[in-house]
Chain A
Amino acid sequence: MNKTLKTIGAPSMEELRCSAAFPEKKDYQRGPIAIIECTEEIPCNPCETVCPKGAIKVGDPITNLPTIDFDLCSGCGICAAKCPGLAIYILDVNYTENEALIMFPFEYLPFPERGETVSLVNRLGDTVCPGRVESVLSSKSYDHTTLISVAFPKQYYEDVVSMKKLG
């Protein structure tokens, strides 16, 4: 369990698919959903307490891995902004006919601008494809974690998790 995570630093797709919160193929078709990449039992539950829909459950003890009810998740992104581990992003695989949209937490300056083309990366930090920035969301309640939405070719929806830092 978590062998790849504990040797190269990032989880493999197999490790992610073993975790309860990771979506199955059909879940991606519901519109934007929260993808939680949290596969280790650490004492942490802000995702549960901030979810306005009650979709995410951690329960007691707080080291339980989170689970998510995709029937309730609206992909609002509050959990993505609040997760102290920056381990959640929002994915809408059917953003347009050919594009998916990812909204991920980002804490590196400078921020990209809307419309800018950025390099999207996989879990190892390798460039996967270019993407078009659709929005850059900051809010006082996000406390300096910014949510960046980027549209990209949908065939890469399982690989893309973030963008290359600028500057």
Chain B
Amino acid sequence: MKKYEVVVVGAGPAGLSAAIECARAGAKVLVADENNKPGGQLFKQIHKFFGSKEHKAGVRGIYIGEQLLKETENLSIEVWLGSEVCGIDADKSVWIIKNKEESCCVKAERIIIASGATENSIAFEGWTLPGVMGAGAAQTMMNCYRVLPGKRVLMIGSGNVGVIVSYQLLQAGAEVVGIVEAASALGGYGVHTAKVRRAGVPFYTGYTVKRGIGEKYIEAAEIVKLDSDWKHIPGSEKILTADTICLAVGLTPLIELAWLAGCRFTYSAKLGGHIPVHNKYMETTVKGIYIAGDVSGIEEASTAMEEGRLAGISAAWSLGYYDDQEAEILIEEEWRKLNLLRCGQFGVNRKVSKDEILNKWEEMRNE
């Protein structure tokens, strides 16, 4: 059986950052990803990132992805693509379907799970008609495969995913007929909403989608206003002509492997669902298994990269590649950068929720 000091699950921003830190410290690393291309969602992020210089602010996500791949290559990190990780045993054997054809098992001393997240959906009449899709799916079609998913798109959800994908749909030549938000306030950053608003996209705040209309595919959408109990207000319906309804209604961490590995969980609505409990070194309740990125709570690529580095440094430290003093300095630095991304009116809630998870880890340790 092949042996690695560290097996990283997922070649997205968190997984690659983790692998880079492990390899840089000297550890033998394998990265496995079910997709045929590395980079996770970075290669469809054609917009410029926020943050500061050290978070690569102002750089488009695609270029950040390219930088990560270059570092991965320079460090000669082994990356298996098209290779789904389907199991983790108690002795840290990792089961992988390599190249979609060969079932194999590798032995790891440390495992870093950076499996990411999956898009949420909402059910409504007509939601199974062709033309209804996740906003992330639309973004993949446009930005990875150069396919315009529709000509007239209605976006459901005004979080950053909803407004960014709306902007990119406009850039790709589609019309966005509206952005629907069930809450009484828009979710995404104001600079993103302002950008699509001045392009003429109306926001329907306090509305939800009632049904998708069409015989064989979406031809229109009916939206309806909600009262303070989130109930439809009869008579407030509007019909919007659209051939596509995009759902940008949140993400859920992909936690199956952490379950299989025996990690303990806590529920955090603000972070997207059930989250593997972890400490400030990103280590779960199972010794030697770390997590990073959206699987540890839904945030952004910028935070995912910092968490990945944190997990990578911690894993390398536990393998003896850093002494305690070196590790503490590196870890404190990562936390400084993470905290910068988790303040302000948007970040502070995530900071509070993340702290709750760290506290939970302490509680569970003392049980």
Chain A interfacial positions (CB closer than 8 Å to B): 2, 5-11, 37-46, 49-50, 61-63, 82-87, 107-109, 121-126, 143-145, 161-162, 164-165, 167
- The answer on a CB contact under 8 Å between A84 and B47 is yes
29 contacts between A and B (CB under 8 A): A5-B190, A5-B194, A7-B185, A7-B186, A8-B197, A9-B193, A9-B201, A9-B203, A10-B194, A11-B190, A38-B191, A39-B190, A40-B344, A41-B346, A42-B346, A43-B51, A43-B343, A43-B347, A61-B340, A62-B51, A83-B191, A84-B57, A108-B170, A125-B198, A143-B48, A143-B59, A145-B48, A164-B200, A165-B170
Q: Is B171 an interface residue (CB 8 A)?
A: yes
A43 proximity list for chain B (CB < 8 A): 50-52, 55, 340-344, 346-347
Task: Identify which of A11, A50, A85 contacts B50 (C-beta below 8 A).
Answer: A85
Contact status of A10 and B197, CB under 8 A, knowing A40-B345, A86-B191 = yes
A41 to B184, CA, bound (A): 20
Chain B interfacial positions (CB closer than 8 Å to A): 47-53, 55, 57-60, 63, 158, 170-171, 173, 179, 184-186, 189-201, 203, 205, 340-347
Task: Identify which of B51, B53, B185, B191 contacts A87 (C-beta below 8 A).
Answer: B191
A41 to B58, CA, bound (A): 17
Task: Identify which of B191, B199, B341, B343 contacts A85 (C-beta below 8 A).
Answer: B191
Interface class of chain A by DSSP: loop
B341 proximity list for chain A (CB < 8 A): 43
Output the residue of A6, A8, A108, A145 with the most chain B CB within 10 A: A6
A42 proximity list for chain B (CB < 8 A): 50, 189, 191, 344, 346
A85 to B195, CA, bound (A): 8
18 more contacts with CB within 8 A, not counting A84-B48, A85-B191, are: A11-B190, A40-B189, A43-B50, A44-B50, A45-B53, A46-B57, A46-B58, A63-B347, A84-B58, A86-B195, A108-B170, A123-B194, A124-B200, A125-B198, A145-B48, A161-B198, A165-B199, A167-B173
B191 proximity list for chain A (CB < 8 A): 37-38, 40, 42, 83-87
- The answer on a CB contact under 8 Å between B190 and A2 is yes
B185 proximity list for chain A (CB < 8 A): 6-7
A7 proximity list for chain B (CB < 8 A): 184-186, 203, 205
**Those 3 A-B pairs whose CB atoms lie nearest each other, nearest first:** A63-B344, A85-B191, A125-B200
A43 to B49, CA, bound (A): 10
- The answer on a CB contact under 8 Å between A9 and B51 is no
- The answer on a CB contact under 8 Å between B343 and A121 is no
The number of inter-chain residue pairs (CB within 8 angstroms) is 141
Output the residue of A37, A38, A84, A162 with the most chain B CB within 10 A: A84
A41 to B196, CA, bound (A): 19
Which residue from chain B places its CB closest to the CB of A164 in the assembled complex? B200
A164 to B198, CA, bound (A): 9
A50 to B199, CA, bound (A): 26
- The answer on a CB contact under 8 Å between A6 and B57 is no
- The answer on a CB contact under 8 Å between B189 and A85 is yes
Which residue from chain B places its CB closest to the CB of A45 in the assembled complex? B52
Task: Identify which of B47, B63, B197 contacts A124 (C-beta below 8 A).
Answer: B197
A45 proximity list for chain B (CB < 8 A): 51-53, 57
Q: How far is the CB of B133 from chain A (nearest CB, A)?
A: 23
A82 proximity list for chain B (CB < 8 A): 58
B170 proximity list for chain A (CB < 8 A): 108, 165
A87 to B191, CA, bound (A): 6
B198 proximity list for chain A (CB < 8 A): 10, 121-125, 161-162
A31 to B231, CA, bound (A): 53
B184 proximity list for chain A (CB < 8 A): 7
Which residue from chain B places its CB closest to the CB of A58 in the assembled complex? B52
A126 to B200, CA, bound (A): 7
- The answer on a CB contact under 8 Å between A6 and B347 is no
A108 proximity list for chain B (CB < 8 A): 170-171, 199
Q: How far is the CB of A41 from chain B (nearest CB, A)?
A: 4
- The answer on a CB contact under 8 Å between B347 and A44 is no
Which residue from chain A places its CB closest to the CB of B203 in the assembled complex? A9
- The answer on a CB contact under 8 Å between A9 and B347 is no
Which residue from chain B places its CB closest to the CB of A85 in the assembled complex? B191
Which residue from chain B places its CB closest to the CB of A48 in the assembled complex? B52
B58 proximity list for chain A (CB < 8 A): 46, 50, 82, 84, 143
B171 proximity list for chain A (CB < 8 A): 107-109
